[in-house]
Homo-oligomer: A and B are copies of this chain.
C-alpha cells in the first residue's frame, strides 16, 4: 500500500491558539509522510454531543482508512480512558467520552483499544493536553503501520461511553424537536431526520414554529434560494436532517435559539393561531 495516510483533526481548540499547530508538529515528527486535514476546529467548548454530531455528518466523506483524531476532552487528565476505535472503514482516536460514538457505531465498531503503551506517547505526558501527548502520537504511529493491538488492552464494550441523538416526537403534522446544531450561517439543524419528515410533509406546505414561546411562520422549501430574501424556511439540509433557515440571513438570530432548545413545528392547518 503506497497511499499516503490521512489524519483528520476535530477539536474544540481555537484557531488562534497554538494547540492545533502543536498537534500537527507532533504528528509530522513521527510521520512526515501523512496528509493532515482540519475537519473542524473551534467547536463549542466542552460540548461532546455537538462534536459527535459534527463527526457523524462528516466522517463518511473521507477516504477509507482515514484516522480521525477527536479532541473534545473536558475530562483530560482524569481517569477517562484514551482509546482507539477501529470501525469497518476508519480509525478514531480520542477520549472515551462519547465524542466518537455516533460515527463509530454508525460505521460499525470492530474493536476498541485503550492507549496504555507509553512507548507511543510523548516522553512527558501532561495532565492537560492529551491531544498533544497521547492522541496525536497514537494517530501518527498508526499511520506508520503500528497495529492497534500494540497500544493497549481491549476496552470492554460495556465500558464504552456512547451518546444518543435525542429523538423527536412526531405525530400527525406536529413535530416536537430539538436544536442539534447551529452552523455558521445561523441555520438550525433539528433532530428530525429528513426521511421521516418527507413521509408526511411536502414542499410548499406551511408551518408555524414555536420556540421559547414565540411563533414563526415557515414554508418547506427545497433550498435557500427557493425562498424570498429573509423568508424563514424549513428544508432538508445536506446532513439529511430538517433545518430551519432564513434565506440570506440567520435563523438562529431570528429565533433567538441555542443548541439544545426545544422546537415545535406544526403544519399550518393544525396551528391554533395561524395569523399570529
A residues at B contact (CB < 8 Å): 3-4, 6, 8, 10, 13-22, 24-26, 28-29, 32-33, 35-43, 45-46, 54-55, 57-58, 61-63, 66, 74-78, 80, 126-129, 132-133, 183-185, 222-226, 235-238, 243, 247-248
Task: Assess whether B77 is in contact with A222, with CB atoms less than 8 Å apart.
Answer: yes
Task: Assess whether A184 is in contact with B39, with CB atoms less than 8 Å apart.
Answer: no
Shortest CB distance A258–B (Å): 16
Task: Assess whether B61 is in contact with A25, with CB atoms less than 8 Å apart.
Answer: yes
Q: A32-B4, A77-B224, A222-B127 are in contact. Are A39 and B21 (CB under 8 A)?
A: yes
Residues of chain B within 8 A (CB-CB) of A243 are 128
Task: Assess whether B13 is in contact with A184, with CB atoms less than 8 Å apart.
Answer: yes
A238: which of B29, B54, B129 is its contact (CB, 8 Å)?
B129
Task: Assess whether A238 is in contact with B16, with CB atoms less than 8 Å apart.
Answer: no
Q: A22-B58, A78-B225 are in contact. Are A45 and B15 (CB under 8 A)?
A: no
Alpha-carbon gap, A80 to B40, bound state (A): 29
Task: Assess whether B225 is in contact with A17, with CB atoms less than 8 Å apart.
Answer: no
Alpha-carbon gap, A91 to B131, bound state (A): 26
Alpha-carbon gap, A25 to B67, bound state (A): 12
Task: Assess whether A15 is in contact with B18, with CB atoms less than 8 Å apart.
Answer: no
Task: Assess whether B35 is in contact with A32, with CB atoms less than 8 Å apart.
Answer: yes
24 A–B pairs (Cβ distance < 8 Å), ordered by A:
A15-B41, A16-B43, A17-B184, A18-B55, A18-B57, A21-B37, A24-B37, A25-B39, A29-B61, A29-B63, A36-B37, A74-B224, A74-B225, A74-B248, A76-B224, A77-B226, A78-B223, A78-B226, A80-B225, A126-B238, A127-B222, A127-B236, A128-B236, A132-B238
